[in-house]
Chain A
Amino acid sequence: MRKILIIDDEVGVIRYYKKLLESEGYSVLTAKNAAEGNMAMLTARDIDLIMLDINMPQVDGVYMWDVIQEYNDKLKVLIFSVRNIEEQKRYLPLATDYFDKSQSVEILLNKVSSLLGSKKPETMRASS
């Protein structure tokens, strides 16, 4: 089962993304802030995809991105935010893909499946 880590300070967002992705057969881990994100990455070593919210008040998504890169720069990261994709790209130009929270969840599912379908879940293990 593909494992996805969602990092977002909005509990409401986490709730229905988790529900959506789990209903599609993914294993979902969630983190409300950078600390929980760190913890999740340390404990669950076989994460296939990180979904990172760019606007978190405590630790900015941009900083979190750097932390993720230190863990594993090959890890796929899907940036998402209420800001539009152009703006997201301006903040973090090197992410694997981007998603606007106000878009339909079907688009999110397509993005996730195409990201996880193209590569095998060995990535995380190989780097550690």
Chain B
Amino acid sequence: MRIQSIKFKITILYTIALGTLLVAYSSYLYLTLSKGLGEDLDIELKGKTRQIKYFIEEFNRQTFQAGENVDKNLDDVIDMTINLNKYRSKGEIFLETGNDWLKSFDYLDLSEDFIYFLNVDSQVPAFTKNVNGEIKILFLNTVDKKNAAQTLLKNIRINNEYFRMIQEPFYFNGKMKFIILIATSQKTLLTVLKERRDVLFFSIPIVLVLAILISKYFSDRLVKPIVEVASVAEQVTHKDLSQRIKTRYNDEEIKIMVGAFNKMIDRLQKAFGHIAEFNSHVAHELKTPIAIINGECEVALRKEQSNSEYKETLQAVFEESQKMLKITEDLLLLAKADYVPENFVFQEFDLKEFFDEICEKERKISLEKEIDIKLKFLTKTKVLKGDALHLRRLFLNIINNSIKFTRKGGVIDISVKADHNNLIVEIADTGIGISAGDIDKIFDQFYQKVPTDLPARGIGLGLSIAQALAKVHNGKIKVQSIVDRGTTFTVTLPIISSSTRTQEAIYAAS
């Protein structure tokens, strides 16, 4: 798996996202647990304090008569309360308290706690027996005498162990007598948290490894069609365009990609087919004059000939080479119109002059066939912006075509009109017409259909070239025809957009 591959990226991104989420969620869980446990411990400590105070008060109330020197006995009661087990084992238990009291006190379970009653009047403090000298000093250092009236909670360390300590005042007969300090171990809490931490610490990497494996599996599956498409694409060459992706995919995006890919090969196959056909046509069109030049020369060289015969041969060779020149020029022009329209030069030119010149030239050609060419100039538009040289070629090709398919003595009417946006040139002949079945094919390259009695010969590029040139000028050529009545070509060339087009070309160039 390469670092730049989508598969790798999916896997890494997925793992990072999942890892971050896992760590964040685990931390949240851990912190919540830690806070909850801490709060529980605080509540427990508060409960213990309250219970001890309550016990002492109740004991006093039940044991001593009002007015007795309670203060004097208080120390004893406290000592008994917090060191209950000691007294119990000695058998010096107060029978008056009753078993219920003892039970509820046992339930508090103070055996592990450190309890210290700091006497506010600096009299003898009471404490559990586990409070040794060192702890006593610690307690005395920790206690906050300034805030003695408040309940405070702190973390302290005793013998390298963490404890939670509560500080609470103890009022008796309306006077603050003691500050109660109770420290309880956080061992259980910390053990639970440590276990949880360990679980998270070990489980996250395992989950992440699983995530990598799973995401790799899925990314493999997701990327597989791309690899397949690529392998088919590898096999497609200009010689073999028959390959298609046949596998059906369920994923919408892959379907779109495969569909687009197959359609692209369809188009390429069609285009290549067209080019091959075009090339074969070109080859055959050029082969005929070459064969003639070849044959002429061979015949001339076989035997000694008269001068006039050599001249004839040369004339024939010259004619054929002229034909070849014309074919190659046509092909180049067609290629230029199709592929490099930016090479055309758009300039304003005089329309009247332009069409007069064309008609004059065509009249010379049609003279032999006695075809009358009439020009009607019906527009006030004087100039057009376009490539005059190539527009001339466009009209010559169409009119030549009309002459070719019009019988002796026919008429060709050329009318030049304009509407708001377009110059409209109609070329109407009285020729043989085009059948409905053929009318769509006349602009196809190399299409030609010549009736028996018309001695016309071309290579079938004239109208293709005319149309390509019209397109270069953003124009169109339309044909209407009735068999045996005649054909009308309508050439529409935009007056405005041809200049806009040049503008665009200037912008594009700058």
Number of interface residues of B (CB under 8 A): 29
Which listed residue (A12, A33, A83) contacts B452, Cβ 8 A? A33
Interface residues of A (CB under 8 A from B): 9-10, 12-13, 15-17, 19-20, 23, 32-35, 55, 57-59, 82-83, 101-102, 104-106
Q: Which B residues lie within 8 Å of A10 (CB)?
A: 288, 292
Q: Which 8 A-B pairs have the closest CB atoms?
A: A101-B291, A82-B287, A12-B292, A102-B291, A20-B299, A58-B452, A57-B450, A16-B299
Q: Are B457 and A57 in contact (CB under 8 A)?
A: yes
A16 and B292 in contact, given A23-B303, A35-B452, A82-B284 (Cβ under 8 angstroms): yes
CA distance A49 to B304 in the complex (A): 27
Interface residues of B in 429-471 (CB under 8 A from A): 448-455, 457
Q: Are B298 and A83 in contact (CB under 8 A)?
A: no
A57 and B448 in contact, given A102-B287, A105-B298, A105-B302 (Cβ under 8 angstroms): yes
Q: Are B290 and A59 in contact (CB under 8 A)?
A: no
Interface presence of B320 (CB below 8 A): yes
CA distance A117 to B305 in the complex (A): 27
Could you write out 8 A-B pairs with CB less than 8 Å apart? Answer: A13-B288, A15-B296, A16-B292, A16-B313, A23-B302, A35-B453, A57-B457, A82-B288
CA distance A64 to B218 in the complex (A): 69
Interface residues of B in 273-296 (CB under 8 A from A): 284, 287-292, 294-296
Interface presence of B229 (CB below 8 A): no
Q: How far is the CB of B137 from chain A (nearest CB, A)?
A: 118
Q: Are A82 and B452 in contact (CB under 8 A)?
A: no
Q: Which B residues lie within 8 Å of A20 (CB)?
A: 295, 299, 302
Q: Are A12 and B316 in contact (CB under 8 A)?
A: yes
Q: Which A residues lie within 8 Å of B320 (CB)?
A: 12
Q: Are B290 and A102 in contact (CB under 8 A)?
A: yes
User: Closest residue to A17 on the B side, CB-wise?
Assistant: B295
CA distance A111 to B57 in the complex (A): 144
Which listed residue (B295, B299, B450, B451) contacts A101, Cβ 8 A? B295
Q: How far is the CB of B241 from chain A (nearest CB, A)?
A: 24
Interface presence of B319 (CB below 8 A): yes
User: Closest residue to B295 on the A side, CB-wise?
Assistant: A16
CA distance A23 to B299 in the complex (A): 10
User: Closest residue to A83 on the B side, CB-wise?
Assistant: B284
Q: Which B residues lie within 8 Å of A23 (CB)?
A: 299, 302-303
User: Closest residue to B285 on the A side, CB-wise?
Assistant: A82
Q: Which B residues lie within 8 Å of A102 (CB)?
A: 287, 290-291, 294
Q: How far is the CB of A16 from chain B (nearest CB, A)?
A: 5
Q: Are B316 and A16 in contact (CB under 8 A)?
A: yes
User: Closest residue to A101 on the B side, CB-wise?
Assistant: B291
Q: Are B452 and A13 in contact (CB under 8 A)?
A: no
Q: Are B457 and A9 in contact (CB under 8 A)?
A: yes
User: Closest residue to A59 on the B side, CB-wise?
Assistant: B452
Q: Which B residues lie within 8 Å of A12 (CB)?
A: 289, 292, 296, 316, 319-320
CA distance A103 to B250 in the complex (A): 59
CA distance A101 to B453 in the complex (A): 25
CA distance A7 to B171 in the complex (A): 139
Q: Are B448 and A105 in contact (CB under 8 A)?
A: no
Q: Which B residues lie within 8 Å of A106 (CB)?
A: 298
Which listed residue (B292, B302, B450, B451) contacts A13, Cβ 8 A? B292
Q: Which A residues lie within 8 Å of B294 (CB)?
A: 102
Given A23-B302, A106-B298: 15 more A-B contacts, CB < 8 Å: A12-B292, A12-B296, A13-B292, A15-B296, A15-B316, A16-B313, A20-B299, A20-B302, A34-B452, A58-B451, A58-B452, A59-B452, A82-B287, A101-B292, A102-B291
